[in-house]
């Protein structure tokens, strides 16, 4: 990865690569925010791109992928189990595993009147625990600006649907995706479309480790996503990525759910003014670097990296600019 490259590996062309992917990650979708917000209001639903592992039909081993997880708020359980092409093909081969009860209830304590559903063929208890943790964080533990009304569950049912209908939904890696889609649907604030996310979640908002991070990040980059949000505990695994990949995709190493939401919601989120200021400083530093003002650019990026240590792209910039400065 970039931190391990010798100085001679840096060139003036590197700055084009750094600026291209990472600037798109910061500001590329700003024009779509208003339209997406308006579109989300009537249906009270939101979709998040979740990093995942899938085994395509006929394949012998799993591979990294990105799927959509949609959260819907409704006065009654409004699940609509639409069989995808993948599901139909798999069922034609072997339907013995099909569970007729495809919508699983995830109970939340304190006797909510509404219910939380997860749509899948076979949903494991770990996945339901992730859903509970995500909703409880938003209701009871999230900081101001991210906390949802206490009576949300008394007024709405919440249902989660996978874009690719899973044969088996297991594990906790979609926890942060559940949380983000629920917040986005309830607050009518869209997640930026170029963001893909993975991470387990606890009730108090801690982001926990998941599996296959290198494969998932590589898949997101290949599919055109410019920002990935992963658990901070996987920092060491970034060394397993292709050396140029951290310069082409923005990687957020999140410790907490509110960190992840800040970078996923961008200028439309509760901390939009702060995000906007971060973007402006970022753009100013890039302009200085392009003009050859390496020291000034390094100073700004170093300050940003101190303020937002979870943003790995800022560390990439700092390492790059430090390597350009003369030694001695």
List the strands of the sheet with 45-54, edge to edge. 103-105, 116-119, 157-162, 63-74, 45-54, 195-197, 227-231, 250-254
User: Are the C-beta atoms of 275 and 220 separated by less than 8 Å?
Assistant: no
Question: What are the start-end ranges of the E strands in 55-178?
Answer: 63-74, 103-105, 116-119, 157-162
CA distances from 201 to 149, 180, 265, 298 (A): 20, 11, 18, 34
**Could you give phi then psi for residue 290, rounded to 5 degrees?**
-65, -30
User: Are the C-beta atoms of 254 and 260 separated by less than 8 Å?
Assistant: yes
pLDDT band for 63, please (50, 70, 90 cuts): confident
Average pLDDT, the chain: 76
Can you give the pLDDT at residue 163? Answer: 67
Q: Among 230, 182, 179, 185, which residue's Cα sits nearest to residue 51?
A: 230
pLDDT in tens, 6-23: 344 445 555 655 655 565
Lowest mean pLDDT, pick from 38-42, 67-71, 178-182, 290-294: 38-42
User: Are the C-beta atoms of 282 and 302 separated by less than 8 Å?
Assistant: no
CATH topology of domain 35-265: Ribosomal Protein S5; domain 2 (3.30.230)
Long-range contacts of 87-90 (CB under 8 A, 24+ apart): 87/121, 87/164, 87/165, 87/167, 89/57, 90/57, 90/167
Residue environment code for 105-128, b if the CB has 16+ CB neighbours within 10 A, otherwise e: ebebeeebebbbbbbbbbbbeebb
**Residues 225-248: what's their mean pLDDT?**
90
pLDDT band for 302, please (50, 70, 90 cuts): very high
pLDDT in tens, 136-166: 899 889 998 899 887 777 777 787 877 665 5
Lowest mean pLDDT, pick from 228-232, 236-240, 274-278: 236-240
pLDDT band for 38, please (50, 70, 90 cuts): very low
Report the Cα 175 to chain-centroid distance in Å.
10
Q: Helices marked H in the chain — which ranges?
A: 12-27, 33-43, 85-93, 125-136, 152-155, 175-187, 213-222, 257-265, 272-290, 294-307, 312-324
pLDDT in tens, 92-146: 555 554 444 555 666 665 555 556 767 655 567 788 888 889 988 998 899 988 9
What would the DSSP string read from start to end of 254-305? ESBHHHHHHHHHGGGSTTHHHHHHHHHHHHHHHHHHHTT-HHHHHHHHHHHH
- The angle, 0 to 180 degrees and rounded to 10, between the axes of the packed helices 272-290 and 257-265 is 70
Q: What is the torsional sign of CA 52, 56, 59, 65?
A: negative
Query: What is the DSSP code (8-state) at residue 96?
Result: T
pLDDT in tens, 165-190: 554 556 788 889 989 998 998 888 99
Q: Among 126, 124, 150, 125, which residue's Cα sits nearest to residue 136?
A: 150
Q: Among 160, 119, 157, 152, which residue's Cα sits nearest to residue 136?
A: 152
- Say how many residues make up the chain: 328
Q: How many CA atoms lie within 13 A of 167 on its CB side?
A: 18
75, pLDDT greater than 60: no
Q: How far apart, in whole angstroms, are the C-alpha atoms of residue 71 and residue 52? A: 17
**Percentage above 90 pLDDT, the chain:** 34
Can you give the pLDDT at residue 53? Answer: 76
Q: How far apart, in whole angstroms, are the C-alpha atoms of residue 66 and residue 49? A: 6
Can you give the pLDDT at residue 112? Answer: 52
């Amino acid at each position: 990865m970039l931190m391990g490259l010798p100085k001679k590996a840096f060139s003036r062309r590197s700055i084009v690569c750094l600026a291209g992917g990472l600037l798109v990650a910061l500001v590329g979708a700003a024009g779509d925010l208003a339209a997406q917000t308006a579109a989300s209001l009537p249906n009270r639903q939101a979709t998040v791109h979740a990093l995942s592992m899938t085994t395509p039909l006929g394949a012998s081993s799993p591979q990294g992928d990105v799927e959509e997880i949609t959260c819907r708020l409704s006065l009654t359980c409004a699940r609509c189990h639409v069989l995808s092409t993948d599901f139909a093909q798999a069922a034609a081969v072997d339907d013995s595993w099909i569970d007729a009860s495809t919508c699983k209830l995830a109970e939340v304590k304190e006797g909510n009147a509404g219910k939380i559903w997860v749509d899948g063929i076979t949903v494991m208890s770990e996945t339901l625990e992730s859903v509970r943790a995500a909703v409880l964080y938003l209701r009871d533990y999230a900081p101001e600006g991210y906390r949802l009304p206490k009576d949300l569950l008394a007024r709405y049912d919440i249902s989660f649907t996978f874009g690719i209908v899973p044969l088996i939904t297991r594990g906790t890696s979609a926890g942060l995706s559940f949380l983000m889609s629920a917040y986005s649907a309830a607050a009518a604030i869209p997640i930026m479309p170029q963001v893909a996310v993975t991470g387990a979640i606890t009730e108090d908002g801690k982001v926990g480790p998941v599996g296959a991070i290198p494969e998932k990040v590589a898949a997101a980059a290949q599919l055109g996503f410019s920002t990935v949000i992963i658990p901070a505990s996987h920092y060491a695994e970034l060394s397993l990525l292709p050396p140029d990949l951290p310069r082409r995709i923005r990687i957020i190493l999140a410790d907490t759910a509110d960190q992840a939401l800040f970078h996923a919601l961008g200028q439309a989120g509760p901390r939009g003014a702060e995000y906007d200021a971060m973007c402006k400083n970022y753009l100013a530093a890039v302009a200085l670097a392009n003009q050859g003002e390496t020291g000034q650019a390094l100073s700004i990026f170093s300050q940003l990296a101190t303020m937002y240590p979870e943003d790995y792209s800022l560390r990439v910039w700092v390492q790059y600019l430090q390597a350009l400065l003369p030694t001695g």
